[in-house]
């Protein structure tokens, strides 16, 4: 029953993102009046199979709602049957302290697949201060014991934010 409630809530939240608010409701990670240097932060979308993805993404910066890799992936896969095509977005952040919302989630080609397969969704906010000239990625781990997400420096592969952790994929 918990799985059905989770899937219903996920479907409603995704449908709200795609029908109630358009991409124009999203804001850039860098405010329009900012003219200084930026740092690149890339979402990661990992194909587990032709029907399943692990999505690690940044969905907000300082309260500004960003375009979402999970929604972009859903839109890109409309009409493609039982396969899912990953779409990973990137953002340019101004240098300096920021509060960012991160998400780790499993995503399936069809809601029916999600009803009978393991899933996770973990969301939380972390403090992040990008440095000039650095590139970052939203990273994570989805496993039976935990669902985690954080930002890491691409060159060193070291976490630069705290990890957001949630329950794993075991039913």
Query: Average pLDDT of the chain?
Result: 82
Burial of residue 165 (number of CB atoms within 10 Å: 0-12, 13-18, 19+): middle
pLDDT in tens, 107-150: 888 767 767 778 899 999 999 999 988 999 999 999 999 999 99
The residues spanned by each domain of the chain are 2-166
**Which is more confident, 154 or 71?**
154
**What share of the chain in percent tops pLDDT 90?**
50
Q: Best-predicted range by mean pLDDT among 75-79, 132-136, 160-164?
A: 160-164
């Amino acid at each position: 029953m918990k799985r059905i409630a989770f899937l219903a809530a996920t479907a409603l939240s995704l449908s709200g993102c795609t029908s109630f608010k358009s991409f124009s409701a999203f804001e850039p990670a860098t405010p329009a009046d900012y003219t200084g240097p930026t740092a690149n932060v890339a979402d990661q979308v990992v194909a587990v199979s032709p029907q399943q993805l692990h999505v690690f993404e940044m969905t907000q910066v300082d309260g500004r709602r960003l375009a979402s890799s999970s929604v972009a992936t859903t839109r890109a896969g409309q009409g493609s049957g039982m396969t899912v095509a990953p779409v990973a977005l990137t953002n340019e952040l101004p240098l300096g302290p920021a509060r960012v919302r991160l998400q780790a989630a499993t995503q399936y080609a069809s809601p029916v697949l999600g009803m009978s397969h393991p899933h996770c969704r973990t969301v939380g906010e972390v403090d992040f201060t990008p440095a000039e000239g650095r590139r970052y990625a939203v990273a994570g781990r989805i496993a039976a014991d935990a669902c985690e997400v954080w930002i890491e420096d691409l060159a060193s592969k070291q976490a630069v934010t705290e990890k957001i952790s949630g329950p794993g994929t075991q039913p």
